[in-house]
Amino acid sequence: MKFSSMRYLAGEGVKNAWVNRLMTIASVGVLVACMVIIGLAILISENVNKAVGNLEQQNVVMAYMKDYNWALYGGGSDADTSSGTDSSASDASQDTASDSEEAEAGTSAESSEGSESTESTTDDTDKADENGIKPSDYVIHNDDEAKALCDEIAKIDNVAAVEYITSEEGLESVKESMIEGQESYFTFLDDEYGNPMSGAAKITMTDMSKFDETIDKIMELDGVDTIQSQSDLADKIAAIKRGVGIAGFWIIAILMVISLVIVSNTIRVTMYNRKLEISIMKAVGATDSFVRIPFVVEGMLIGLVSALIAEGLLYFCYRVATETIIATLGTTDIVYYSDVAWWLLLVFIGIGIFAGVLGSVIMISKYLRREGSEFAAI
Amino acid sequence: MEEMRLQGGGTAAAAPIIEFRGVSKTYPTGTHALEDVNIRITGGEFVFIVGSSGAGKSTFMKLIMREEKANTGIIRVNGFNLTTMPRKEVPMLRRTMGIVFQDFRLIPTMNVFQNVAFAMHVVGASDRDVRREVSRALSKVGLGNKARSMPAQLSGGEQQRVGLARALVNSPDLIIADEPTGNVDPNMSYEIVSLLTEINKRGTTVLMVTHDHNLVRDFQHRVIMLERGKIVADNAGGSFQ
Ligand SMILES: Nc1ncnc2c1ncn2[C@@H]1O[C@H](COP(=O)(O)OP(=O)(O)O)[C@@H](O)[C@H]1O
Ligand SMILES: [Mg+2]
C-alpha cells in the first residue's frame, strides 16, 4: 500500500474520531476506567506478592540433627518425624531399665536422662560413655559432620540458604523466644540437666509452594531427625498468591471484554454515521482492507489516548494512596510506581490496541459481509 | 443516429462489454425480478434502459456491478465472469466502471474537490494523480470553478455533475447510471444526458436507466425495455420506435 493512501486513510480515521467526538470521549472514559482498574489490580497483586515475599524470607525451617543430644534425650527413635514436632519430645522407649512405672509418664522426657544402658553391645570401637551412649547410636558426631550435612541440604533444589545452628545457639534462641519472666521456669534445661537441644540446620526456601516436596527431600538425608516449621504459613502464603493470581486474572479478563465491547460499539456508531462513505468506497472499488483502515485507526486512536490518560491517572491515584499509607503505617516497603510505570504503560497500550483493532475489525467485517446497498436507487 | 453509436467505438462483431445469457434473478422474498434475460452490449454503446416501476431495471444494474448475484445464467462484464468470480475480486470489477446514483450520494462534509478525490484516494491513487485527475474531471463536467463549494451550496443538476465527475475520475470503461436525472429538473436532465453522450463519444460505454420518454426520444440511442423481468423491446438493430 502506498504511503499517500495510508496517510489519507489514517487521516480519515482521525477525522472519524473527531466528528464522532462525544462517542469518542465516552468510550475513552470507559476504557480509561477499565485500564485504571486493571492497573490497580496489578499494583495490588504486586504489593501482595512483595509482602508475601517478605514473609517467605522469614519463614525458616529448622532441621534437627541426629547428634549426641538426640541420642541422649530424644532416644534415637525414628518413629516421629512429622514436621512441627518438638524435637525434645520423646517416647523414651529404648532405655528405661531402672524403672518403668506409669507414674513417671508425665515426665518421661526427663526420666530418660538417668537411664542406664544395660543391653548395649560390647564393641571395642563403639564403647558406651558414662551416659550409656555409643557412637553408633547417633549419626552426627561433631561440628564437621554437622556442617557436611548442611552442605548436603544446600544442594537440594529450592533450598535458598542453610545455616548451621549449634545446640548452644539453639538454646539461646529458644530462651529468647520465651515470654519474659518464663525463662526462669526453664533453667533446668541447662543448669540441672544440661542443654537438651540438638544441633540444627536453619533452612530458607526459594519457593514456598514446593514446601512439602522439599521437606521430603531433606528428610531423606541421613542425620536429619525432625523438621520444625510453620508449614501452615507456607500453605497460607501459597493460598494468598493463588487467590491474588486468580482474582487478578478474572478482573483483567472481564475488563478486557468490557473494553472490547465499548470500543466496538463506538466503531459501530461511526460506521452507521459513515454508511454513505462506505457505500461510495465499495461502489468505486475500494478493497475491504481499505474500507477497514479508517475504522481501525479510529479504534487504535481511542485505545492509545486511553492508555496515556490511564497511565497518568493511575500514577496520580497511586501516589496519593501510597503517600497516605506511608504516612499512616510508616511502612515504605511498597512497590513504587516508577518500578512498574513502563510495563504498565505497555500493558495499557496493549489493551488499547487489542480493544481498538479487534473491536473495529469485528464490527466492520460484520458490516462488509452483508454486502451493503451501494446502489439503492429504488 | 445508429451510425453515431457505431462511431462511438463498437462494431457488431466486437466482443461485448456486457453479456447476459439466460439470466434469472429471484430475490429471497420470492420476487422474480428478472427472467431469462439475454443481452449483448458492445463497447462504446450508449444504452437507455426503460420500463415501468418494478420491471427489474435496478436489478439489472445491480447484477452488472455484482451487488446481486444471478440465480441462473451467465453474466460477463468487462472480461469478468460474474458467475464464477470470488467476492474478493468485486473491487477490481468495480474499478472498471463508474457509478452514478439517483440521489447523488455526495458526502455533505466534503467539498466538491474532496468528494471527487475520495473516489481516487480509496482505490490507492497517489496525491499527484488525484490533484491532476480531479481537476480534469471537474472541468469535463463544467464545474472547474466550483471545486471549493460544498454540496449543499449547489443545485441538483450541479450536484449530479459532481457525481458524474466522481464516476469519471478513475477513467472507467463503463458508466452505469440508475435514474441519474430522477432528482433533477428537466433542463438539467438534458444537460446531464448531453454530458453522458459526450463522454460516450470519447469511447466510454454508458448504461442509463430512465423514466423520461422525452430524453429517450431526443437522444437517439439504443433502448432496451424491460417489463415484469423480461426484455420486451430492444432497438439494437435500429428498428425500435
Ligand atoms: N432487495 C430486494 N429484495 C426483494 N425484492 C426486491 C429487492 N429489490 C427489488 N425487489 C423487487 O424486485 C422487483 C424489481 O425491482 P427493481 O429491479 O428495483 O425494479 P425497477 O428498478 O425497475 O423499478 C420489484 O418487484 C421489487 O419489489
Ligand atoms: Mg429502480
pLDDT of residue B6: 41
Stronger pLDDT, B86 or B238, i.e. the higher one: B86
Backbone angles phi and psi of B49, in degrees to 5: -110, 120
Atom of ligand 1 nearest to the CA of B229: 14
Instruction: Choose the closest CB to A375 out of B67, B95, B121.
Output: B67
* Number of other CB atoms surrounding residue A94 within 10 Å: 17
- The one-character DSSP state at A67 is B
Q: Is the dihedral of CA B2, B7, B11, B15 positive or negative?
A: negative
Average of per-residue pLDDT values in chain A: 77
Chosen for mutation from A278, A279, A280 (greatest number of chain B CBs closer than 10 Å) is A280
Residue A252 confidence class, pLDDT cut points 50, 70, 90: confident
pLDDT of residue A89: 38
Residues 6 or more apart whose CB falls under 8 angstroms from that of B80 comprise B89, B92, B93, B96
Instruction: Choose the closest CB to B102 out of A276, A283, A377.
Output: A377
Residue A179 confidence class, pLDDT cut points 50, 70, 90: low
Residues 6 or more apart whose CB falls under 8 angstroms from that of A235 comprise A211
Atom of ligand 1 nearest to the CA of B60: 17
Residues 6 or more apart whose CB falls under 8 angstroms from that of A206 comprise A158, A159, A160
User: Relative to the alpha carbon of B62, which ligand is closest?
Assistant: 1
pLDDT of residue A277: 87
Name the residue of B27, B68, B225, B226 to mutate for ligand 1: max ligand atoms within 8 A of Cβ: B27
The C-alpha of B62 sits at a distance from chain A's nearest C-alpha, in angstroms, of 7
Query: Ligand 1 center to residue B33 CA distance, Å?
Result: 6
Q: Is the dihedral of CA A169, A170, A171, A176 positive or negative?
A: positive
Cα–Cα distance between A153 and A64 in angstroms, integer? 12
Residue of the CA atom closest to atom 7 of ligand 1:
B27
Residue B217 confidence class, pLDDT cut points 50, 70, 90: very high
**Taking CB atoms and an 8 Å limit, are B119 and A284 in contact across chains?**
yes
* Interface subset of A 263-292, CB within 8 angstroms of B: 276-277, 279-288, 290-291
Residues 6 or more apart whose CB falls under 8 angstroms from that of A260 comprise A354, A355, A358, A359
- The residue type found at B176 is I
Please indicate if any CB of chain A lies within 8 Å of the CB of B109.
yes
Q: Are strands B97-100 and B174-178 parallel, antiparallel or unpaired?
A: parallel
The cell for A42 is: 496489578
Atom of ligand 1 nearest to the CA of B61: 17
Q: Is A292 exposed, middle or buried (0-12, 13-18, 19+ CB in 10 A)?
A: buried
Chain A residue whose CA is closest to B129: A4
Atom of ligand 1 nearest to the CA of B27: 4
Average pLDDT over residues A154-173: 85
The C-alpha of A363 sits at a distance from chain B's nearest C-alpha, in angstroms, of 18
Query: Ligand 1 center to residue B19 CA distance, Å?
Result: 21
Contact between B188 and B142 under an 8 Å Cβ cutoff? The reply is no
pLDDT of residue B29: 95
Assign B160 to helix, strand or coil.
helix
**Taking CB atoms and an 8 Å limit, are A377 and B127 in contact across chains?**
no
Neighbours of ion ligand 2 (CB under 5 A): B 58
Element of type H or E holding B73: strand B72-77
Residue A339: is its pLDDT beyond 80?
yes
Name the residue of B23, B58, B208, B226 to mutate for ligand 1: max ligand atoms within 8 A of Cβ: B58
pLDDT of residue A85: 39
Element of type H or E holding B159: helix B156-168
Atom of ligand 1 nearest to the CA of B59: 17
Query: Ligand 1 center to residue B29 CA distance, Å?
Result: 10
Residues with CB under 6 A from ligand 1: A 378; B 27, 29, 31, 33, 51, 53-59
Lowest mean pLDDT among A258-262, B8-12, B19-23, B91-95: B8-12
**Taking CB atoms and an 8 Å limit, are A9 and B122 in contact across chains?**
yes
For A285-320, give the DSSP string.
T--HHHHHHHHHHHHHHHHHHHHHHHHHHHHHHHHH
Cα–Cα distance between A187 and A291 in angstroms, integer? 88
Please indicate if any CB of chain B lies within 8 Å of the CB of A19.
yes
Residue A331: is its pLDDT beyond 80?
no
Cα–Cα distance between B36 and B26 in angstroms, integer? 11
Instruction: Choose the closest CB to A378 out of B58, B67, B105.
Output: B58
Query: Ligand 2 center to residue B120 CA distance, Å?
Result: 27
Residue A167: is its pLDDT beyond 50?
yes
Average pLDDT over residues B17-26: 96
Q: Are strands A159-165 and B205-209 parallel, antiparallel or unpaired?
A: unpaired
Average pLDDT over residues A8-23: 86
pLDDT of residue A71: 82
Stronger pLDDT, A181 or A21, i.e. the higher one: A21
**Taking CB atoms and an 8 Å limit, are B91 and A287 in contact across chains?**
yes
Cα–Cα distance between A136 and A76 in angstroms, integer? 11
Assign A3 to helix, strand or coil.
helix
Residue A11: is its pLDDT beyond 60?
yes
User: Relative to the alpha carbon of B182, which ligand is closest?
Assistant: 2
User: Relative to the alpha carbon of B225, which ligand is closest?
Assistant: 1
Q: What is the pLDDT of residues B26-79, one digit of tens each?
A: 999 999 999 999 999 999 999 999 999 999 999 999 999 998 999 999 999 999
Instruction: Choose the closest CB to A4 out of B109, B127, B209.
Output: B127
pLDDT of residue B14: 64
Query: Ligand 2 center to residue A377 CA distance, Å?
Result: 6
What is the percentage of chain B residues whose pLDDT exceeds 70? 92
Average pLDDT over residues A155-171: 86
* Number of other CB atoms surrounding residue A50 within 10 Å: 13
Atom of ligand 1 nearest to the CA of B55: 22
Please indicate if any CB of chain B lies within 8 Å of the CB of A157.
no
Nearest in space to A317 (alpha carbons), one of A31, A40, A35, A30: A40
Q: What is the pLDDT of residues B139-149, one digit of tens each?
A: 999 999 999 99
Chain B residue whose CA is closest to A287: B91
Q: What is the pLDDT of residues B112-136, one digit of tens each?
A: 999 999 999 988 899 899 999 999 9
Predicted ipTM > 0.95: no
- The one-character DSSP state at A123 is B
Q: What is the pLDDT of residues A102-161, one digit of tens each?
A: 444 444 444 444 444 444 445 557 777 777 788 888 888 888 888 988 998 888 888 888
**Taking CB atoms and an 8 Å limit, are B91 and A374 in contact across chains?**
no
Cα–Cα distance between A59 and B159 in angstroms, integer? 82
Assign B227 to helix, strand or coil.
strand
CB contacts, 8 Å: A276 with chain B: 105, 107
Average of per-residue pLDDT values in chain B: 90
Separation in Å, CA A353 to CA A42, A81, A170, B95: 19, 57, 59, 33
Element of type H or E holding B186: helix B186-201
pLDDT of residue B41: 96
Residue A67: is its pLDDT beyond 90?
no
**Taking CB atoms and an 8 Å limit, are B109 and A378 in contact across chains?**
no
Contact between A59 and A235 under an 8 Å Cβ cutoff? The reply is no
Residues 6 or more apart whose CB falls under 8 angstroms from that of A181 comprise none
Q: What residue has cell string 533452612? A: A203
Q: What is the pLDDT of residues A192-219, one digit of tens each?
A: 567 778 888 888 888 777 888 888 888 8
Q: What is the pLDDT of residues B165-188, one digit of tens each?
A: 999 999 999 999 999 999 888 888
Lowest mean pLDDT among A3-7, A82-86, B44-48, B213-217: A82-86
